[in-house]
A and B are shown apart, each in its own frame.
Chain A
Amino acid sequence: MATRKSASKPNVSAEELLGYYRDMLLIRRFEEKAGQLYGMGLIGGFCHLYIGQEAVVVGLEAAAKEGDKRVTSYRDHGHMLACGMDPKGVMAELTGREGGYSKGKGGSMHMFSKEKHFYGGHGIVGAQVPLGAGLAFSDKYKGNDNVTFTYFGDGAANQGQVYETYNMAMLWDLPVIFVIENNKYAMGTSVQRATKSPSLWERGAAYGIKGEEVDGMDVLAVKAAGEKAVAHCRAGKGPYILEVMTYRYRGHSMSDPAKYRTRDEVQKMRAERDAIEHVRDLLLSGKHASEDDLKAIDKDIKSVVNEAAQFSQDSPEPALEELWTDIYADSVPQQA
């Protein structure tokens, strides 16, 4: 991983820095709580935690404006919190309750918010990439200047449909930012065991798409790259690729014995490159905040997350009638 460039004199206000700290911390504490609820049997099935990757979505959301869209894979809790979705609704979806964003019918991997322009939450690796380009297509068709952030991992980067999409996105100048969240492992397979390409973003060159590598453990570097990509897209110059180098601290899903990497590797990353610690350092060393200020934020986040956890347990399971709703938009009765 590249050494941190922007750490010394960030061109950012104290208010913004505090906002990023808060947003990243919310994701981390939320995910820790989700892991705990999973352990208690309150969350079932798959549950892919975002811990370690917080700076990616928080940095990119800092570059977005109202109307911009986002779509991602199944590791989606962080994206939802970062775009302003209610932690209660997200957590209640994880527990499969009526108060969840999908009324408990989608689960961890399948959540949406039309209001926040969050288009899922998709469980098939790589499928969100053409969907994101399609969302961008709709904005270009309507003639507005919205962009779509289309997130996918280093694993999805080897799916054929990604390259079909690159081709058409460039052919039609679609305002889509392809964000490759390279967390080094596709489940248990390291990037080096899946491809001999030295970098993933450079593959866009075959289609004429510009891009760059970004330090994904530095929220300010991510934001700066995001702003550049957004400006490119809004100017009608077509798609842009950001390969954001990041790291997932937890397993692929919950039942991951993690034999494909060493404990030391994870600990080193946590100790030396943690994105939240980085912003904390900036805040303290820049005298933008005191230990007490940060403690107050920590406390506040903790209560937001606890409230979400409580709500996700208090909210009832969906009514049994819900089995039969939302299959068709015009409620055509089911045939025998």
Chain B
Amino acid sequence: MATLEIRDLHVSVEADNGSREILKGVDLTVKQGETHAIMGPNGSGKSTLAYSLAGHPKYQITSGQVTLDGEDVLEMSVDERARAGLFLAMQYPVEIPGVSVSNFLRTSATATRGEAPKLRTWVKEVRETMERLHMDPAFAERNVNEGFSGGEKKRHEILQLELLKPKIAVLDETDSGLDVDALRVVSEGVNRVRESGEVGTLLITHYTRILRYIKPDHVHVFANGRIAESGGPELADKLEAEGYEAYTKDGATQ
């Protein structure tokens, strides 16, 4: 069973006035089949955690450990992490001029699966997945993220999640900027992947709204660069009622 283990992770970024520590000792274990919601105020370091796991060069790991099934993730390059089964649905997906969605999807599927998917089944697979995400087939011929609306970008991220079938999926504020209809469609996509039981999901969000559609097994409150409190789904209800104030008051704000 795939397991992502994060141990005492410290991460810094270079700022104008030197290096600044954003993550201050994160401990978390995500197992295949589980869904963990990470909730927290702006600036608490949630996205830093997501990008650090994926290996974005901007973030420097100063200490700590991340392993996937015992293998050292921090030693892997960005593409190796993806091929090992780590997936990051990005908050701000990047435009890639000149590369069509269909070409991009096939290239990434080939890379992560280790062989080119059979053309006939692949075309069908993409088409059906796009239909379920209410995406127009013409979408496949557009350039990656170029001129996409906010909702289209997020659907495209979830399309990749469904096609690449990672072991661990990190969803970085996939819900932000979506209207209720789009949120429902995107959540259904995430739930289809979860129902396979083969993915561990780390759902990073600012709002409790998405948790009405995607039910987490565990909820963690993130504040000041670490997990301040962990609990079951009832913790989300508490946050819904009380907000993050309790976690930001005692000197936790930056």
Say whether A associates with B.
no
